[in-house]
């Protein structure tokens, strides 16, 4: 059976402090570097997801792109 292209699975262990180590292959594929900030999403029925790091930037841009009310001190 062929592995679906672009789809991956890894196993990780949770340490005593609740930390996990992201496997090197995953860090390389998704360009995750020391000091990067990642967003962790959770759904009680579907589980935990760590979307690509640019997804957070896109989300913030969507939320604040021209929709934020003008502050009084900027007039």
In a domain, 52, yes or no: yes
- Paired tokens of 47: 């589980």
Per the structure, the complete domain to which residue 60 belongs is given by: 35-67
Query: With a threshold of 0.85, does the pTM exceed it?
Result: no
- The predicted pLDDT at position 45 comes to 96
* pLDDT at 55 > cutoff 90: no
DSSP assigned state of 4: P
Go through the chain and tell me how many residues it has.
75
Name the residue with higher pLDDT: 66 or 18. 18
* pLDDT at 35 > cutoff 70: yes
- Paired tokens of 51: 């979307």
From the centroid of its chain, how far is CA 73?
A: 34
In a domain, 72, yes or no: no
In a domain, 9, yes or no: no
In a domain, 63, yes or no: yes
Report how many domains make up the chain. 1
In a domain, 14, yes or no: no
Q: What mean pLDDT, rounded, does the chain reach?
A: 84
């Amino acid at each position: 059976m062929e592995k679906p292209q672009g789809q991956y699975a890894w196993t990780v262990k949770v340490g005593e402090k609740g930390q996990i180590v992201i496997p090197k292959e995953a860090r390389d594929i998704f360009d995750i570097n020391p000091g990067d900030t990642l967003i962790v999403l959770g759904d009680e029925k579907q589980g935990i997801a760590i979307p690509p790091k640019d997804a957070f930037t896109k989300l913030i841009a969507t939320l604040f792109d021209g929709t934020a009310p003008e502050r009084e001190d900027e007039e």
